Structure 1
Amino acid sequence: MNIQVDMKHIANYVMNHAKNYPNEVYWANVVDRPSERVYLKTYSYGPDYTPATVWKTSAQVDTDGSPINYPPPHDPNTSLMYGDQAVNAETIPYIVLPKNNKNNVMLGDIGIVIDTTTGKSVYVIYADKGPAGKIGEASIAMHAALGFQYKTSSGKFIGHDDLDLVYIMFPGSGSKCGYGYGKPIPTAAQIANCAIPYFNALKKTTSHSS
């Protein structure tokens, strides 16, 4: 099977077979669809793993952690820090969760984001908290990895408004890989190395289904 087609299948299978978290629903972070709701779900994929937390939405650009002095609401810091070192939005593919999220994904946990339109994917880390009640932000590096045009010719960030991104996060993975608040910031390659065993275990549960 074509790798990108396979990734689309995995993302759609997981979303179709996941169960809703109680009271875990947020507004999509899309200006022209302010009433769009996003439901966080749980997907069990093996006796040795905590069920994955999954959802499907868009992705606006989060510049936090970048050393470049972007216009507000840019913040040179991120919620995940190592001393005075933030997670650089330019180089690290990270995602954002609402500051009032109630699921078991913690800062430093890793996962994967899959574009169900193209089949492209990128391994990510949860590194920043966003506004309460709204979901759908990710770093510049995540947008770049998925091939999105995230900035206009004038330099304005435009994000990705299509609700076609499946986020699959692995609760507890950060602590097992040595990531978390006050711990060294991993590189994109280290994030991928940590996430691959989790994703491979999840993938096995989808391999015999259409």
Structure 2
Amino acid sequence: MAFRPPAASKRQLDGVSFDQAVDFAPDARKKFADKDRQPGNKDPSKCKVLLKFPDNGAGPGAVFWSSKMAIDTDGPSAGPGRLNGKALDPSSGQNDTSLHLANGKGLPSEIIPYIVLPELQSGSSRTFNPAVALGDVAIVIFKDKTAAAVCGDLGPFNKIGEASIRVHEALLQQDCPDPCSKRNDKGFCLRARNSSIEQDVLYFVFPNSAFAADELAVETINTKIKERAFGLYNKLRGAS
């Protein structure tokens, strides 16, 4: 039976043929479900489906899932007057990301839209499935808003659904509040909000869509991500 997406996202999904997608990475999905069932888990992934769209020549292949979306602050400071990931989230933030820019630095969560891929196993540098890789571009949809992103970080093997501050800002609306609980007078984030969008965030990752390492410059990366991700998504749904 084909996946039935949320009615609130219908317009953004126009042309996407979910009946062509097949179940994908069942072992990974089981890990997410097992973690959700653990007593005391206050931030379940709620991964309702994990699918793969075929690359059939008419459109690009894609890996898709529906889950929650937590806030990932990982990465260095986005510039003068801004905080690094650890300062934004003292409980779990880090000052680096798995994907690096051409200058060797990680992706600043405040200014670069990235999502997190689960690692294959605890401590692994590999993603949960070889079909998706760090650097691949993605589309993230929540209700009637859409954002382009890059797969920029690795996270726990038994959880899925996490994105940078910038992605949350792009999807800002009711049920997707400001990802920062405190900002300074310039609007810079001082503390990340300890919350998630609980469910029905839709992720499309496009395999083999990564940029060459020397193309990942902070000055141009957002434009490149947007152009490539939306271009591939429009092909997937048969739009011009």
TM-score, normalised to structure 1's length? 0.79
Local SS of the residue matching 1:152: strand
Q: Does residue 21 in structure 1 map to residue 40 in structure 2?
A: no
Which residue is 1:132 aligned to? 157
* Deviations 1:110-133, CA, capped at 9 Å, x for gaps: 010011x2x100001000000111
Please say which of residues 16-25 and 56-65 is displaced more in the overlay. 16-25
Q: Give 1:195 shift.
A: 1.6
Distance 2:64 2:132 in 1: 10
Please say which of residues 57-66 and 22-31 is displaced more in the overlay. 22-31
Q: Give 1:15 shift.
A: 4.6
Distance 1:5 1:41 in 2: 18
Counterpart selection for 1:170 from 189, 206, 214:
206
Local SS of the residue matching 1:7: helix
Distance 1:33 1:87 in 2: 24
Please say which of residues 42-51 and 30-39 is displaced more in the overlay. 30-39
Contact 1:38 1:135 in 2 (8 A): no
Unaligned runs of 5+ in 2: 1-8, 78-82, 121-127, 184-190
Q: Does residue 53 in structure 1 map to residue 77 in structure 2?
A: no
Local SS of the residue matching 2:223: helix
Q: Give 1:189 shift.
A: 1.5
Which residue is 2:129 aligned to? 102
Which residue is 2:166 aligned to? 141
State the number of aligned residues: 195
Q: Give 1:198 shift.
A: 0.9
Contact 1:46 1:201 in 2 (8 A): no
Change (3 A) 1:35 1:167: closer
The code of the aligned residue for 2:28 comes to E
Q: Give 1:38 shift.
A: 4.6
Structure with greater strand share of residues: 1
Which residue is 2:224 aligned to? 190
Contact 1:122 1:146 in 2 (8 A): yes
Q: Percent identity?
A: 28
Local SS of the residue matching 1:72: coil
Unaligned runs of 5+ in 1: none
Q: Give 1:91 shift.
A: 0.5
Distance 1:73 1:146 in 2: 23
TM-score, normalised to structure 2's length? 0.70
